[in-house]
Amino acid sequence: MSDEHNHQKKVAVISDLSGFGRCALAVSLPLISRLGVQCCPLPTAVFSNHTGFPSFYFEDRTDGIEPTIREWKKLDLRFSAILTGFLGSFRQIGLAETFLDAFQDENTRVVIDPVMGDRGKLYATYTPEMAKEMKKLACRAHVLTPNLTEACILTDRPYSEKLTNGELTAMAEELGSQGPDAVVFTGIQRGPYLENFCWVKGSGASIVRTRKVEPQRSGTGDVFSSIVAAGAAQGVSLTNSVRTAAHFIRRCLIRSSELQIPETDGVCFEELLGSLHFEKE
């Protein structure tokens, strides 16, 4: 096979695409590109605008995933990282595993954002059967980035917003024992702060904290996982990636409020793209 398509680092992103409302692939493409990595999108669905709006048009792209895998194999594409985001059905979760089987090698870092729910509940589109299947996919991650709701689902614990650092460490160690090298529990609210609890196998836990900016907005998790995936592709340390993501999101939230952007429209990162970069290590 020719190596002509593999002269640059690439991240494959398996997620949905919304024409309006900054989330998923609409976020991943510009952010990963800005960080010096080619973003290769594999849409699981196409939306006119995301599901947080009162109405939307939706086109399922499940049947296009396997043909895309076949064509990319013909090109002998190799990826420095693979990121999975929103997966809309039981079948799509299985197809994400098929993608990993086809493209993951010893040089590929896998980042899995197990998008299942928030605030203690599964999303309306998610079923218990899908959550069980996601537990299997999560074991394939090098870096796993659940919010607290998803972390509790993955570890079969009752949901709580007031988990201690000791409890979070125990949960991260449990997940790490099943495969992941690193776990980040995202968006933990602690008083005036928002924390990301980072656990790395062999190194223990650390916390990246920023001051909260209200209101909460759609798509911030996608901004976070995209930056972490670009960092994984570039060999950037997890703490550096998480710190970069957290501070960039905060700047974007502040600017979005200044411009009076509706919460559904996500964070307006466009004006701030030039400030996005990893710290030197």
Number of domains within the chain: 1
> Cα 92–27–91 angle (5° rounding)?
0
129 domain-assigned:
yes
| Alpha carbon separation from 133 to 189, 239, 254 (Å, rounded) | 28, 29, 37
3 domain-assigned:
no
Q: Which residues contact 71 (CB under 8 A, 6 or more apart)?
A: none
Beta bridge partners of 206: 198
2 domain-assigned:
no
279 domain-assigned:
no
The pLDDT tens digits for 83-126 are 999 998 999 999 999 999 999 999 999 999 999 998 899 988 88
Q: Is 65 helix (H, G, I), strand (E, B) or coil?
A: helix
Single out the residue of 187, 97, 177, 192 nearest to residue 146, CA to CA: 187
Asked whether the predicted pLDDT for residue 1 surpasses 80, the reply is no
Q: What is the mean pLDDT of residues 132-141?
A: 97
What is the tally of helices (H) and strands (E) in the chain? 8, 11
Q: Is 162 helix (H, G, I), strand (E, B) or coil?
A: coil
1 domain-assigned:
no
| Alpha carbon separation from 176 to 89, 107, 170, 180, 183 (Å, rounded) | 25, 20, 10, 5, 7
Rounded CA gap, 148 and 151, in Å? 5
Asked whether the predicted pLDDT for residue 160 surpasses 70, the reply is yes
Q: Which CATH number covers residue 168? A: 3.40.1190.20
213 domain-assigned:
yes
43 domain-assigned:
yes
Name the pTM for this structure.
Answer: 0.96
Lookup result for tokens 């509706």: 262
pLDDT of residue 3: 84
280 domain-assigned:
no
Cβ burial 177-214 (10 Å sphere, 16+ → b, else e): eeebbbbbbbbbeeeeebbbbbbbeeeebebbebebbe
Rounded CA gap, 6 and 160, in Å? 44
pLDDT of residue 218: 86
Range of the domain at 257: 10-272
Asked whether the predicted pLDDT for residue 35 surpasses 70, the reply is yes
The pLDDT tens digits for 46-83 are 999 998 899 999 999 999 999 999 999 999 999 999 99
Q: Answer yes or no: are the C-beta atoms of 85 and 24 closer than 8 Å.
A: yes
